[in-house]
Amino acid sequence: MKLSQREINDVVILEPKGKIMGGPDATLLHDKLHELIKDGKKKVIVDLAKVDWMNSTGLGILISGLTTMRNNGGELKLANVTDKIESLLTITKLITVFENYDSLEEALNSFKT
């Protein structure tokens, strides 16, 4: 997995690309979120548009990220969840845990309310 980052207003957008399968992927996202928290960034969107596949370990990485952000007074939301990943979230009932938006724009707007 590759991970790029950009910022719109005060919202950090993380854009993973490829497969989220655990191992080094877990460390990459974990370290990135801790770096953002340290920098005072509390609003994060993970844009999943370019993620081809995610296994159960990948889901664990997202849950860990959500917990990390919430424990530090922040928020982590998902945008552009692909059909494959949405079905994984639905089967595991995690669809009710994450704030999930069809587009990046909708996710960004959700921080304004």
Could you tell me the CATH number of the domain that includes residue 32?
3.30.750.24
* CA dihedral sign of residues 98, 58, 108, 32: positive
**For residue 24, is it within any domain?**
yes
* CA dihedral sign of residues 76, 81, 84, 89: positive
Question: What is residue 113's predicted lDDT score, i.e. its pLDDT?
Answer: 62
**For residue 59, is it within any domain?**
yes
Residues of the chain with pLDDT under 70: 113
The number of domains in the chain is 1
**For residue 25, is it within any domain?**
yes
**For residue 37, is it within any domain?**
yes
Strand pairing category for 51-54 and 43-47: unpaired
**For residue 113, is it within any domain?**
no
Residue 90's domain comprises 2-108
Say what the pTM is.
Answer: 0.94
Question: What is residue 37's predicted lDDT score, i.e. its pLDDT?
Answer: 94
Nearest CA to 68 among 100, 92, 49, 44? 44
Question: What is residue 23's predicted lDDT score, i.e. its pLDDT?
Answer: 84
